[in-house]
A and B are shown apart, each in its own frame.
Chain A
Amino acid sequence: NAGVTQTPKFQVLKTGQSMTLQCAQDMNHNSMYWYRQDPGMGLRLIYYSASEGTTDKGEVPNGYNVSRLNKREFSLRLESAAPSQTSVYFCASSEEARSKTQYFGPGTRLLVL
């Protein structure tokens, strides 16, 4: 039982490049989330998926897209990376949308040059 896994752990991109961050959970959770963490800002919600087949914008969605591939997997795509997207990205899941407790993955550290 791995919980929430994320790949890659670390990535360096040049401005304008694209990439997809992968997230998978094995807890049979319905809801999944993507956050970014920046110094002094806490964690901010980018996108979430309340259940398989649905996705919605969070607090800071600009520059990102998501895909809920199936119940287990929720990916985050940067179509044209910008230096402002340098951050640590965390994926999380919860049993259902109304569950307050979210379980986090180990994070992906992204550097955009």
Chain B
Amino acid sequence: DQQVKQNSPSLSVQEGRISILNCDYTNSMFDYFLWYKKYPAEGPTFLISISSIKDKNEDGRFTVFLNKSAKHLSLHIVPSQPGDSAVYFCAASSNAGGTSYGKLTFGQGTILTVHP
């Protein structure tokens, strides 16, 4: 049962345009969400996160939006650059029941390609 889903395996965008990556989740106990970026032959690197008490978090060109009622989050990259070409994973975490470890549940990933 995939609790975090990224339904678009790939996305292709022109340089300078907006990239929108989407993520859906089913577990209503998730209360913290993260986006990781991964280049080939490297480990994932943390990009941006959002707590469930917020609906938007911005960091430079990257903005994450959270729609709790729809159990949906999205990552906006504006403007997109060729160096943004990578695999993007969304991840979710829950502290339900006093869970004391930061277990992350990951989506399958979306390959973003930004063309010059």
The bracket for how many chain B residues form the interface is 20 to 34
Task: Scan B79-105; emit 1 where CB is below 8 A from any A CB, else 0.
Answer: 000000000010101010000111110
Task: Scan A48-74; emit 1 where CB is below 8 A from any B CB, else 0.
Answer: 101000001010000000000000000
- A25 CB, nearest partner CB in chain B, Å: 12
**What are the residues of chain A within 8 A of B45 when measuring CB–CB?**
104
A45 touches B108 (CB 8 A): no
**What are the residues of chain A within 8 A of B19 when measuring CB–CB?**
none
Compute how far the CA of A64 lies from the CA of B108 in the bound complex, rounded to whole angstroms: 22
* With contact pairs A48-B101, A50-B101 given, residues A42 and B106 touching in the complex (Cβ less than 8 Å): yes
* Total residues of chain A contacting the partner, CB 8 A: 26
**What are the residues of chain B within 8 A of A102 when measuring CB–CB?**
46, 102, 104
Whether A76 is near chain B, meaning CB under 8 Å from some CB there, is no
A42 touches B34 (CB 8 A): no
B44 touches A104 (CB 8 A): yes
Compute how far the CA of A105 lies from the CA of B43 in the bound complex, rounded to whole angstroms: 5
Which of A4, A50, A98, A106: most chain B CB closer than 10 A? A98
Compute how far the CA of A56 lies from the CA of B6 in the bound complex, rounded to whole angstroms: 28
Compute how far the CA of A6 lies from the CA of B42 in the bound complex, rounded to whole angstroms: 11
Q: Chain B residues in contact with chain A, CB under 8 A?
A: 4, 6, 9, 32, 34, 36, 41-46, 49, 89, 91, 93, 95, 100-104, 106-109
